[in-house]
């Protein structure tokens, strides 16, 4: 594996007690850098509170419960992502995940209509996401499901989506917007607020298939959503670090939450992600308080015990 920078002691202290609300670790349908049990032990060593287990393809609540039992003191959080493998916008899948202890629901990612239709190519030299190869394999094998629709082109939110949002509100889950388009995100966040969803995070707004403009980010923040600032988006070259910093500054640290989106074999260790972001932010002139709000306060609001 390549050499990676080491976080500073100051950064480690600043992100202590944080959750990483977006990690991709083994077991998974693709190769990962680390498994969830080993990651929990490493989180304990560096003083992090827990992590949200994200899979694009399978629910993770049962896994999370096993990890919590095996590594006491580290809070592994279960989730579900509403892609084709769980039936898309499937209220039954959300209900069962919630009853199984999940705390996060991602709207469609790899199977969202937006991600399927997105023609935006990554900047030159950007590292493609690992799931892109798997999606190609499924398509070549004749197993490409229809795109999962979440909102209409006119901004309407269909009954099935509203039912999912009501379940998220009923079980007090966190809603993450996945790989929806900016227009879809606007519609869904408005509907989620109307249905009583209390915790909303806009998934990596700088990602190539999102590219949410600053004015729209501010409007989403005004509705109560947090904007997720992922380490991998600038680290993999999908956006410049300067743009990433500018978005945080323009929308405000109080409306942003740090996450790593790590777990790929070629990227830094997952347990280093939040601290590496802290070092980057401090070097850019953000304050200790700014970092603490984004890394700790807001991540605990999204992922912490209910």
- The string of pLDDT tens digits covering residues 243-270 is 999 999 999 999 999 999 999 999 999 9
Choice among 83-97, 109-123, 206-220 with the minimum mean pLDDT: 109-123
- For residues 68-75, average pLDDT: 98
CA distance 218 to 237: 24
Q: Which of 54, 46, 47, 49 is nearest to 22 (CA)?
A: 54
For residues 238 and 117, give the distance between their C-alpha atoms in angstroms, rounded to a whole number. Answer: 18
Query: Could you count the other beta carbons within 10 Å of the beta carbon of residue 209?
Result: 22
CA distance 210 to 104: 20
Cα–Cα distance for residue pair 255/294, rounded to 1 Å: 8
Q: Considering the chain, what is the average pLDDT of its residues?
A: 95
pTM of the model: 0.95
Share of the chain above pLDDT 70, in %: 98
Fill in the DSSP letter of residue 55.
Answer: -
* Angstrom distances, CA of residue 256 to CA of 79, 179, 201, 278: 20, 18, 9, 13
**pLDDT at position 122:** 66
Residue 120 is predicted with a pLDDT of 54
Q: Judge whether residue 205 has pLDDT over 60.
A: yes
pLDDT in tens, 8-67: 999 999 999 999 999 999 999 999 999 999 999 999 999 999 999 999 999 999 999 999
112-149: per-residue pLDDT in tens? 988 888 755 567 777 778 788 888 888 889 887 889 99
CB 228, CB 205: distance < 8 Å: yes
The mean pLDDT of 101-121, rounded to a whole number, is 87
> Could you tell me if 5 and 276 are in contact, meaning their C-beta atoms sit under 8 angstroms apart?
yes
């Amino acid at each position: 594996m390549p050499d990676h920078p080491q976080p500073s002691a100051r950064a480690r202290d600043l992100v202590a007690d944080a959750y990483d609300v977006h990690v991709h670790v083994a077991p998974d349908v693709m190769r990962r850098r680390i498994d969830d049990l080993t990651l929990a032990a490493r989180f304990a060593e560096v003083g992090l509170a827990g992590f949200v287990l994200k899979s694009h393809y399978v629910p993770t609540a049962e896994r999370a419960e096993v990890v919590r039992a095996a590594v006491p003191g580290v809070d592994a959080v279960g989730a579900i992502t509403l892609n084709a493998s769980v039936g898309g916008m499937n209220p039954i899948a959300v209900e069962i995940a919630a009853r199984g202890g999940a705390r996060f629901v991602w709207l469609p990612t790899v199977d969202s209509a937006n991600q399927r239709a997105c023609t935006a190519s990554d900047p030159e030299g950007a590292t493609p996401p690992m799931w892109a190869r798997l999606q190609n394999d499924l398509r070549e094998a004749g197993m490409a499901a229809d795109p999962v629709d979440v909102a209409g082109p006119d901004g309407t939110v269909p009954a099935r989506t509203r039912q999912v949002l009501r379940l998220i509100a009923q079980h007090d889950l966190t809603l993450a917007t996945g790989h929806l388009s900016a227009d879809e995100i606007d519609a869904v966040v408005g509907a989620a607020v109307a249905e009583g969803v209390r915790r909303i995070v806009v998934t990596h707004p700088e990602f190539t298939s999102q590219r949410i403009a600053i004015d729209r980010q501010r409007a989403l923040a005004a509705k109560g959503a947090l904007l997720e600032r992922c380490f991998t988006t600038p680290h993999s070259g999908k956006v410049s670090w300067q743009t990433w910093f500018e978005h945080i500054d323009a929308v405000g640290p109080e409306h942003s939450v740090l996450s790593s989106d790590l777990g790929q074999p070629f990227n830094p260790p997952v347990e280093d992600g939040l601290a590496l972001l802290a070092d980057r932010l401090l070097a850019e002139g953000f304050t200790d308080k700014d970092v603490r709000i984004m890394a700790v306060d807001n991540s605990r609001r999204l992922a912490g015990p209910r």
